[in-house]
Amino acid sequence: LPPKKRDAISQSNGTLPKIGMKKILRETQINAINIMRARLTMADTPEARRAEKARILERLTDDALACSVGIDERNEANFLTALAEGVIVVEDEDNTGTGVRLDYGYKAENTFGVDTVGAISKESIERVIDAADANGISFRRIAIALSAYKKMRQEQWAKELVASYKGISFTSSTKLPVPTAADFDEAFADEFGGITFLKIDRSVTVEKDGQRKSYKPFSANRLVFLVDENVGSLVWGTLAEATNPVAGVVYSTVDNYKLIAKYSKTDPLQEFTSGQAIVAPVIENVDQIYILDSNVKYTAA
């Protein structure tokens, strides 16, 4: 039998970043919460109402949950940025002003520009699909920011695609309506062999120096062509504090990799809750990921 070449095996290497957050409950806040709890206990109300209020108060003071969810939010933000850009920089929690750069090795030859900067044309999409097809790759999904998807539906080619799919006659002077999302998705899938859209409209809230702001980590300028929605893994390591606990600190582990720590300080009284993890999303099979960047002008090779 003729020997066949084995698939190439690649190995990731480098340093996983440490991420985390801390919540502080100060003495005045602790006193206020204790007073609220006391009043709630003495209130002459039905038992069910008292229980519900007690649960609300407990939720408001559940800093451990907030720290756990905060790590989830950071993972989500890192993943969406990594999927769109192929590179992320995660701020080092132990060293202010420094970060860990993760490069997922997106191939430059798999990134394409558009015919007109700022606009996504049918020809630009076809160019990406044809290039992948020449390498034996068939896409199933296109990850796209919802804002970019809405803008694309307003393009003339999108209107004509839906009109043709529905058997509607038109000329170059016909004023066609903007298609609905359902109609455009159906017509697009019919035209491009069943490819569907993964519309992303995810905002995350970050806090720095006491200021909170929301942003959308998935780039609205880039369409990510995927053969599968399972694009990688969440990889984590063991924290030094997990193997070398500090005396007087109460620890708990959440989701196998988040280390939640609770401790107090006096003069004045403060209760600290921190969540930390060594974790990062890893994008795999990057040779099968293709990008269409609407901020880059296409130039023929």
Residue with tokens 């860990």: 100
pLDDT at 55: 62
Residues in contact with 65: Cβ distance below 8 Å, sequence separation at least 6, in sequence order: 59
What letter would DSSP give residue 16? P
Tokens of 190: 């019919």
How many angstroms separate the Cα of 29 from the Cα of each of 25, 60, 67, 159, 275?
A: 6, 11, 18, 58, 20
Report the alpha-carbon distance of residue 193 to residue 212 in Å, rounded.
43
pLDDT, mean over the chain = 88
Per-residue exposure over 236-252, b if at least 16 CB sit within 10 Å of its own CB, e if not: beebeebeeeeeeeeee
Q: Write the CB contacts of 181 (distance below 8 Å, at least 6 apart in sequence).
A: 149, 153
Express each pLDDT in 137-176 by its tens digit: 999 999 999 999 999 999 999 999 999 999 999 988 899 9
Give the pLDDT confidence score for residue 61 in this predicted structure.
Answer: 63
Residue 180 banded pLDDT, cuts 50, 70, 90: very high
More confident call, 35 vs 189: 189
pLDDT tens digits, residue range 104-139?
Answer: 999 999 999 999 999 999 999 999 999 999 999 999
Kindly calculate the radius of gyration of the chain based on its CA atoms and give it in whole angstroms: 26
- pLDDT band at residue 97 using 50, 70 and 90 as cut-offs: low
Residue-wise pLDDT for 6-55, tens only, equals 655 556 677 788 888 888 888 777 777 777 777 666 666 677 566 667 76
Distances (CA, A) of 80 to 46, 111, 152: 46, 17, 21
Residue 158: per-residue pLDDT: 97
**Tokens standing for residue 165:** 């799919």
Helix (H, G, I), strand (E, B) or coil at 83: helix
pLDDT at 263 over 60: yes
In a 13 Å sphere around the CA of 273, the CA atoms on its Cβ side amount to 17
**Residues of the chain with pLDDT > 70: what percent?**
87
CA 293 → CA 30, 43, 83, 261, distances in Å? 51, 61, 13, 43
Cis upstream peptide for 3 (omega within 30°): no
Q: Which residue has the higher pLDDT, 234 or 52?
A: 234
Is 90 exceeded by the pLDDT of residue 244? yes
Lowest mean pLDDT among 78-82, 91-95, 107-111, 112-116: 91-95
Residue 64: pLDDT band (50, 70, 90) is confident
What confidence score (pLDDT) does residue 90 get?
86
54-58-61-63 Cα dihedral, nearest 10 degrees: -170
